Structure 1
């Protein structure tokens, strides 16, 4: 809730629901997700996120604001999770079937310790990553670097020889490099609100392909947040 660029962004409304509720509804539609846990902080400003999690009937864990890596690991342990599918809270229109694809790829490849979708030309806001709690615990024990602790899997990504990865390449219908569908700034909110309310109740679980087709037909919408600069893992 204390985002420097858009405070309170997770509760901003679209089509009558907070942005975070849209994300939760999409994750509930992923067949291979057993339980959703909101991993938020002990900051009092995030009390409202715990209350939202209770209303949405999801799990919630509260931990360090700075040590996100430790917070995610502690969340997994608190809920006895063997495998983690991590999605950041600023992806309110993530495609449930893309998340399912990442999970199925992980289980189908026993040698891979990390599976990621969201690179190689996917729009920002469609990313998900899967890894075991055991792998995250191993990585967590090996680094005290502040950036590693802030970005959860940065240490895993830097050490592919220790944690063999698989990166999923997007289909042509999912390819739009540089398109921002994450909730970082007010201009992002304006675009995402328009997208959500365009599909409305008729198609609440619209896909990534649906969004890209819509935006090809509405280039003026793409311009809304085109100049927003993404922070990345820095």
Structure 2
């Protein structure tokens, strides 16, 4: 008798009204929208059965929904600022047993790191596994490889109980911010590369990623370990976004809680 395998669904969150760089998820990066890089790389993770883009029901995200339709990407539309609710409703709609949270501003997301994180989730039988926690916690993977994995049961509990704005906007803080509330496991890189910034949150980040992609003829390798030496060999690229500060876990968009369209 064969056992039923859990349905692992990767949910890629993104919206056009980013506070620091509006429109970034459809910004051109190496000849195609950044969102395409993210979805296509996540689809290569062996542990993931389905990839869904979770955007908002706001009219500003009609272009995102249309792009997903044109590309054949699964897409779910939900709350503009209550991203925890958006994730929960997406997970319900796609019958997810396990949810992998990815953000649409990570064009170098590594499918092997996704697999490593999902495998750790099952191996250690936890409620939540990740390859980093945001500041003030320490991380060793570069910023931009961020992968979070949780059970649907844990997500549902967070959806019911989480009340603070940062818990609703950043989806997962309720699962890790209070020690002992859930079983948590964090994986680490072999060395500390936690200060490297490979995400796109600002115009400086986008400039840096465009410069890095150009070094690979706009086709960077899937493995972050192959990207790493090229990044380290080009301080002129590193300097492009060296001054950008990463968000802390309890920061939130000041627009949160205001009436949505």
TM class by shorter chain equals over 0.9
Quote the offset at 1:214 in angstroms.
0.6
Matched, 1:231 2:247: yes
My pick for the range that moved more, 143-152 or 22-31, is 143-152
Query: 3-state DSSP class of the match of 1:121?
Result: coil
CA distances 1:79-121 after superposition (whole Å, capped 9, x unpaired): 11111000111111111111110011112222x1110003522
Equivalent residue number for residue 115 of structure 2: 100
Determine if contact 2:221/2:227 at 8 Å carries over to the other structure. no
Quote the offset at 1:55 in angstroms.
2.4
More helix per residue: 1 or 2? 1
Quote the offset at 1:169 in angstroms.
1.2
Any stretches of 5+ residues in structure 2 without a counterpart?
A: 1-15, 134-138, 252-261
Distance 1:30 1:55 in 2: 22
Determine if contact 1:139/1:155 at 8 Å carries over to the other structure. yes
Quote the offset at 1:7 in angstroms.
1.1
Equivalent residue number for residue 9 of structure 2: none
Equivalent residue number for residue 153 of structure 2: 134
Query: 3-state DSSP class of the match of 1:37?
Result: strand
Query: TM-score, normalised to structure 2's length?
Result: 0.84
Quote the offset at 1:198 in angstroms.
2.2
Distance 1:216 1:15 in 2: 20
Query: 3-state DSSP class of the match of 1:87?
Result: strand
Equivalent residue number for residue 150 of structure 1: 169
Q: Return structure 1 stretches of 4+ with deviation > 6 angstroms.
A: none
Matched, 1:117 2:117: no
CA distances 1:189-211 after superposition (whole Å, capped 9, x unpaired): 0111122232236x544321122
Quote the offset at 1:224 in angstroms.
0.5
Instruction: State how many pairs are aligned.
Output: 230
Give the 5 Å matches for 1:8-27.
8-27=23-42
Determine if contact 1:199/1:206 at 8 Å carries over to the other structure. no
Equivalent of residue 43 in structure 1, options 58, 64, 68: 58
Equivalent of residue 46 in structure 2, options 31, 44, 66: 31
My pick for the range that moved more, 153-162 or 22-31, is 153-162
Query: 3-state DSSP class of the match of 1:36?
Result: strand
Determine if contact 1:117/1:169 at 8 Å carries over to the other structure. yes
CA distances 1:168-190 after superposition (whole Å, capped 9, x unpaired): 01123xx3222211111111001
Distance 1:146 1:4 in 2: 15
Determine if contact 1:84/1:130 at 8 Å carries over to the other structure. yes
1:58–1:160 CA distance, 2 compared to 1 (3 A): farther
Quote the offset at 1:68 in angstroms.
0.6
Query: 3-state DSSP class of the match of 1:84?
Result: strand
Distance 1:80 1:21 in 2: 24
